[in-house]
Homo-oligomer: A and B are copies of this chain.
Amino acid sequence: MNCSRVLSMTHPALIDELKTLVEPGKVLTDADSLNAYGKDWTKHFAPAPVAIVFPKTTEQVQAIVRWANQHTVALVPSGGRTGLSAAAVAANGEVVVSFDYMNQILDVNLTDRTAVCQPGVVTKQLQNVAEEQGLYYPVDFASSGSSQIGGNIGTNAGGIKVIRYGMTRNWVAGMKVVTGKGDLLELNKDLIKNATGYDMRQLFIGAEGTLGFVVEATMRLDRAPKNLTAMVLGTADFDSIMPVLHAFQSKLDLTAFEFFSDKALAKVLARGDVPAPFESECPFYALLEFEATTEEVANHALETFEHCVEQGWVLDGVMSQSETQLHNLWKLREYISETISHWTPYKNDISVTVSKVPAFLKEIDAIVGEHYPDFEIVWFGHIGDGNLHLNILKPENLSKDEFFAKCATVNKWVFETVEKYNGSISAEHGVGMTKRDYLTYSRSPVEIEYMKAVKAVFDPNGIMNPGKIFAVLTGTREDAVNELSAQVRRWDQHSFSLGQSGVHRA
């Protein structure tokens, strides 16, 4: 909390100025708020913002960004704070910009099938409004009850229905953003077809707030799915999962194709609150889902199941016959993450192209197995889109520190293998601070240079969520504190008065 104290004691005037930009009471500096709003679901970094500001309008957001440029204050966007890469963590004396008070769905258009959302709209809120209108917002994941649309866009959130519906990117018809320079851009105007030059909307999707803030987003909605039906299939081995995917995809339009290992299932069943799908024990399981719009479609599914059994790929299987059964089958997959959290898992969110998944998974298994035969690996994930969640459970007899130290070594092997298979070190969780130093495993140095230059276009003073995606400054904490003091002295001499005259620093 050093930084914040230095600032607030030395320059209360700066925070006072910030307070004039928003409604009364919409700047918080109490310890509880700083702690709560300074972090996301990652727990690696101690939260240390100097203030939390809650704008209620686009104009207020612009004013905050201009103020930040004037005084070179780092801003961190804050949505539902459910991120898993520390992209919304303020650990270095930043000002957090929370969108909790810009949380209205401004319009729903049934002809266009769109909903105009402020960035603080909670995912579930949008899903519910869509449902009330007989429509559907299909991007769904564990944190949909608290994650916000602005954050979803910032990380291009994925989830469990990507095989059919794609990522958040597919559902952004248009958006208004305030750039790091404070300019308001209205991107794409909600059009389906618009061939008028660079689609900058796409740049802001997945940018983790490093280019600017989303202040409004028009989200597309889909028709409601009909009679969703799930199958859980036990396969003979991992290699059988791919032909099963192939067989079903050629007969049905799947809405999901997930997988998990016997170890994952065993942990979930041990809870005692979810029924086993069937009696047979299999090394791997696939959960697939489709719309059984007609009896014929359900019959296609059963025929394909029989074909997969005849081929020796599938050993046993079950198909849901009711909504309750559908939900129970989904619990087998959805409860994994929460269940294994008991074992302090080392988690990784990686992807390769679908066809490379079997070889990739085997190679990681072999590496970890060879070096750490006592480590239990739990695999699960969205295999229909190549996204694997690798979870290594902490052995009981190993301390947390020892375990994480060993995992750091594993990390390197995993990322080297990801690079070898031309995959991604972050499939859907983003880079933030946790993956930042590994970015070169997925993006070439030249590519990263272009990314930095693109950032410079939208955020020339580097005030937007600095230190996320890219490192900004290397050095020790002391360097930073010294630098901070020097900067504070410089303010005393020059900048602050410049700021008050309303002149932007170039």
At the interface with chain B, which of A232-240, A311-319, A324-332, A427-435?
A427-435
Given contacts A74-B496, A195-B429, A495-B487, contact A353 B503 (CB under 8 A): no
Which residues from 75 to 119 on chain A have a C-beta closer than 8 Å to any C-beta of chain B?
A: 91-95, 109-112, 114
Selected contact of A189 from candidates B74, B194, B196, B423, CB within 8 Å: B423
A153 to chain B, nearest CB (A): 12
Residue of B with least CB distance to A44: B504
Closest to A432 in B: B195
What 0/1 pattern do residues 1 to 44 of A give for CB contact below 8 A with B?
00100010000000000000000000000000000000000001
What residue in chain B is nearest A156 (Cβ atoms)?
B195
Residue of B at shortest CB range from A458?
B450
Given contacts A386-B192, A503-B476, A488 and B450 within 8 Å (CB-CB): no
Interface-lining segment among A200-208, A361-369, A372-380: A200-208
Tell me if A276 is interfacial: C-beta within 8 Å of chain B. Answer: no
B487 and A501 within 8 A (CB): no
Contact A487:B496 (CB < 8 A) given known A194-B351, A351-B192: yes
The answer to whether B483 and A495 touch across the interface, beta carbons within 8 angstroms, is yes
Determine whether the beta carbon of A355 is less than 8 Å from that of B112: yes
Q: Nearest chain B CB to A2's CB is how many angstroms away?
A: 8
> Which residues of B sit under 8 angstroms from A353, Cβ to Cβ?
109, 112, 114, 189-192
A142 within 8 A of B: no
Inter-chain contact A50/B488, CB cutoff 8 Å = no
Query: A497: which of B72, B296, B473 is its contact (CB, 8 Å)?
Result: B72
Q: Is the CB of A446 within 8 A of B296?
A: no
Interface size class of A (residues with CB under 8 A): 35 or more
Q: Which residues of A, 154-195, contact B by the 8 Å Cβ criterion?
A: 155-156, 158, 162, 166-167, 169-170, 179, 183-187, 189-195
Q: Let me know if B93 and A499 touch, CB within 8 A.
A: yes
Residues of B within 8 A of A194 (CB): 351, 424, 426-427, 442
Q: Are A457 and B459 in contact (CB under 8 A)?
A: no
Q: Are A246 and B196 in contact (CB under 8 A)?
A: no
Give the residues in chain B near A208, CB-CB below 8 Å: 197
How many angstroms from the CA of A173 to the CA of B424 in the assembled complex? 14
Q: For the complex, give the distance between the alpha carbons of A471 and B95 in Å.
A: 40
Q: Residues of B contacting A45 with CB < 8 Å?
A: 504-505
A498 to B49, CA, bound (A): 9
Q: For the complex, what is the distance from the CA of A450 to the CA of B111, rounded to whole Å?
A: 32
In the complex, whether A500 has a CB less than 8 A from a CB of chain B is yes
Stretch at the interface among A124-132, A258-266, A461-469: A461-469
Which residues of chain B are near A444, meaning CB under 8 Å?
185-186
Residues of chain B lying within 8 A (CB to CB) of residue A185? 444, 446-447, 450
Q: Tell which of B110, B187, B467 touches A246, judged by Cβ atoms closer than 8 Å.
A: B110
- Residues from chain B with a CB closer than 8 A to the CB of A179 are 450
Distance to closest chain B CB from A223 (angstroms): 7
6 contacts between A and B (CB under 8 A): A7-B498, A95-B498, A293-B296, A452-B488, A462-B490, A484-B499
The 3 closest A-B pairs by CB, nearest first: A202-B202, A93-B499, A480-B501
